[in-house]
Structure 1
Amino acid sequence: MTLPLYPLMYDGLIRAALAEDLGLAGDLTTDACVPADARAKALFRARHDGVVAGLDAALHAFALLDPSLRITTHVGDGDRIAPGTVLATVEGAARPILSAERTALNLLGRLCGIASETRRLADRIAGTGAQIVCTRKTTPGLRALEKYAVRVGGGGNHRFALDDAVLIKDNHLVAAGGLRAAVERARACVGHMVKIEVEVDTLDQLAELIDLKVDAVLLDNMDVPTLKRAIAMVDGRMITEASGGVTPDTIRAIAETGVTLISLGWLTHSVKNFDIGLDFDPA
């Protein structure tokens, strides 16, 4: 089950995006050449296949500019769509539809792109028991929505923020004075509900970590043979996460090592935008 997005989670974001686009003088082009009483029916149409995500959040841009607009959705988040599928229609005054168009399309294209790529990767590793998760490498201000899109696409979420859990990485180990010192300090500071994960680069580090009994280990930039050895060493005693160098071509082999999670930073920081058009019905 995908946790829902409540309007309170994106209302401020959409307001800020609209304010950014409208600037100090509003939509000069639309206000100058479109009559105030002009009416329109606009259709959101997919230009290739994929997975829908963030539709209600994107359509919220129209409701903010004109609550009287009639907004109809024809698909829902998580639905697989084919080229030409109409996602939603917006009917009413033409001016607010034109002014909100880019904000809505920017957000919807971004979130559908993330969900679609997540779904393609999840399909590639189906049956292995591994799960794809995103990271904190998100667009500033869009983290909640981008992580939602990953869930819609069939993936899971890593930490939402620094206060979610302890993730001790290589620089932490240097600053703390070593692996054991870092883990012992972390365990002494956090509550019993907080999980501790540690990043390791080598099997020697992993051997030391196993004795410290943490909740999860991040196996960083290990090739498939090394990952297999690491999974065998852990032997189910903690959650295992593979990260670094994961591509669509290598993800199946990585999943088949028995790793629990596969984390992908590029899933949110550089995924291809989903192409959606907003076209006015000439009728």
Structure 2
Amino acid sequence: MITEAQFQNELQIIIQNAIREDVGAGDYSSLACIPSSAKGKAKLLVKDEGIIAGVEFAKMIFHEVDANLLIETFINDGTPVKYGDVVFNVSGSSQSILKAERLVLNSMQRMSAIATKTNGYVKFLEGTTTKILDTRKTTPGFRACEKWAVKIGGGENHRFALYDMIMLKDNHIDFSGGITLAIAKSKAFLKENNLDLKIIVEARNLDEIKEILQSEGIYRILIDNFNYEDTRQAVTLIGNKCQTESSGNINEDTIRLYAECGVNYISSGALTHSIYNMDLSLKAI
């Protein structure tokens, strides 16, 4: 997995690129009608229900735009919110508040929706030992924030990107000439390049599970698109040899049943690609 320093760097890149995209040469609307000396105050108002996320990220945005902006926080990341709640107040230069407004709202609305959906999935798993994982099915350029939101909602992060874990999926296996060859080539590559990365291998059926188990050093087997009975058999076959992960069209109706098959993890792209933004507003006060 990526380091904390790498993660923080990703966040800074997101903020800087978003400001470049949105502000460009200047916020001419504000520059045209608001004096540079004007001071103001605004509140982050909740107009929905769910789990709030992105408060700490909003602080990073405000301080990137203007280090002198002051944020008074009332509700922290990961807290349930309802219509009418005020998450924080921001005060300082009116121009700076307006410059940061849309980026703060866009980020928090999406992060809160992801945290809310993740929290719902976590609740479905209560009483089991299975944990929910995100995937790489994220919005291009916004991955660090979306994976942060999953953590805020009570989920766990899968690999961050292609560079921090070996994950041999169906196409890798087919292009390599089979499971055993793909694993052997991956181990050789890691050794030759002095890389210490975990290896996950996807299985499409029970025979592939058995073949994967013939190789040593596998971190986790991805049990992909199995039915319940085959998932239970796969978990039994794997035992304590490595971790297990279920994936493939798992939703609110099926997630509990897959967890009860005994898998360690369930991964779901829906946490990040099938959400509706939480309704939030930044209002002058």
Question: Given residue 169 of structure 2, which amino acid in structure 1 is its aligned partner?
Answer: K
How far residue 203 of structure 1 moved from its aligned partner, in angstroms, is 1.1
Alpha-carbon distance between aligned partners in 1 of 2:92 and 2:133, rounded to the nearest angstrom: 40
How far residue 47 of structure 1 moved from its aligned partner, in angstroms, is 1.7
1:221 to 222, 225, 231: 225
CA contact 1:7–1:57 (8 Å) conserved in 2: no
Matched residue, 1:16:
17
Gaps (5+ residues) in structure 2? Answer: none
1:228-243 to 2 correspondence within 5 Å? 228-243=232-247
Question: Given residue 170 of structure 1, which amino acid in structure 2 is its aligned partner?
Answer: D
1:248-263 to 2 correspondence within 5 Å? 248-263=252-267
The question of 1:200 aligning with 2:203 is answered yes
CA contact 1:42–1:90 (8 Å) conserved in 2: yes
Alpha-carbon distance between aligned partners in 2 of 1:173 and 1:16, rounded to the nearest angstrom: 36
Matched residue, 1:157:
157
Q: Deviations over 1:131-152 (max 9, x none)?
A: 0001112222222222111111
1:17-166 to 2 correspondence within 5 Å? 17-24=18-25, 26-166=26-166
Alpha-carbon distance between aligned partners in 1 of 2:27 and 2:8, rounded to the nearest angstrom: 25
Alpha-carbon distance between aligned partners in 1 of 2:33 and 2:259, rounded to the nearest angstrom: 56
How far residue 233 of structure 1 moved from its aligned partner, in angstroms, is 1.9
Q: 2:263 is paired with a residue of what secondary structure?
A: coil
Q: 1:87 is paired with a residue of what secondary structure?
A: strand
Q: Deviations over 1:97-144 (max 9, x none)?
A: 122110110111111111111111101111110000011122222222
How far residue 168 of structure 1 moved from its aligned partner, in angstroms, is 0.7
Q: 2:107 is paired with a residue of what secondary structure?
A: helix
How far residue 30 of structure 1 moved from its aligned partner, in angstroms, is 2.2
Alpha-carbon distance between aligned partners in 1 of 2:98 and 2:170, rounded to the nearest angstrom: 49
TM-score by length of 1: 0.90
TM-score by length of 2: 0.90
Change (3 A) 1:10 1:194: closer
How far residue 211 of structure 1 moved from its aligned partner, in angstroms, is 2.0
Alpha-carbon distance between aligned partners in 1 of 2:9 and 2:159, rounded to the nearest angstrom: 21
Percent pairwise identity: 38
Gaps (5+ residues) in structure 1? Answer: none
Alpha-carbon distance between aligned partners in 1 of 2:197 and 2:138, rounded to the nearest angstrom: 23
Change (3 A) 1:159 1:125: same
Q: 2:136 is paired with a residue of what secondary structure?
A: coil
Q: 2:84 is paired with a residue of what secondary structure?
A: coil
Alpha-carbon distance between aligned partners in 2 of 1:234 and 1:64, rounded to the nearest angstrom: 49
Q: Deviations over 1:228-261 (max 9, x none)?
A: 2221222232211111111112111111111111
Higher mean C-alpha deviation, range 265-274 or range 130-139: 265-274
CA contact 1:125–1:252 (8 Å) conserved in 2: yes
How far residue 68 of structure 1 moved from its aligned partner, in angstroms, is 2.3
Question: Given residue 114 of structure 1, which amino acid in structure 2 is its aligned partner?
Answer: I
How far residue 7 of structure 1 moved from its aligned partner, in angstroms, is 5.7
How many pairs were matched up? 278
The question of 1:264 aligning with 2:268 is answered yes
Q: 1:190 is paired with a residue of what secondary structure?
A: helix
How far residue 264 of structure 1 moved from its aligned partner, in angstroms, is 0.9
How far residue 67 of structure 1 moved from its aligned partner, in angstroms, is 2.5
Q: Deviations over 1:257-277 (max 9, x none)?
A: 111110111212332212211
